Amino acid sequence: MLYSKEVMDHFENPRNIGKMADADGIGEVGNAKCGDIMKMYIKVENDIIVDVKFNTFGCGSAIATSSMATEMIKGKPISEALELSNKAVVEALGGLPPAKLHCSVLAEEAVKAAIKDYYDKNGIAYDAEQFCDGNCAACHAHDHEHAHGHAEEE
């Protein structure tokens, strides 16, 4: 199984790795099948993600996608970070083997989970459809079984 230079670089030299004590938002997601767990921390000022850190327990692809995702949202407005797709992460890494594509989905979900946490902590209203509720089976059918505690629509 061959990995691109970018994947190897982000695996061997992950960017923005570590914890953030004063994070404004923390998102933790996991994949029960592969055992990968990603935790993402964001610092927000004036609606801009000024700093981001991650901790990932998982394979090389999980670490590489986490690292790349942090690079792609750092310094960006929240609205842009919310648009980060797993496809964009995979493209930026020069591709991933099909069996490892789920790692990029986790990276996208971790970013969104951290932003959702920031919104919740600050009482900012949002569209619940934008966020993963951790119920992967429901997501694929995209029904309306969302986690509790969503801000009510105006």
Catalytic positions, please? 34, 103
Q: What DSSP state is assigned to residue 59?
A: -
- 3-state secondary structure (DSSP) of residue 25: strand
**In angstroms, rounded to a whole number, what is the distance separating the alpha carbons of residues 56 and 54?**
6
Q: Are 27 and 37 in contact (CB under 8 A)?
A: no
- Match 């951790």 to its residue by tokens: 134
* Cβ pair 49, 81 in contact under 8 A: yes
Alpha-carbon distance 135 to 98, whole Å?
22
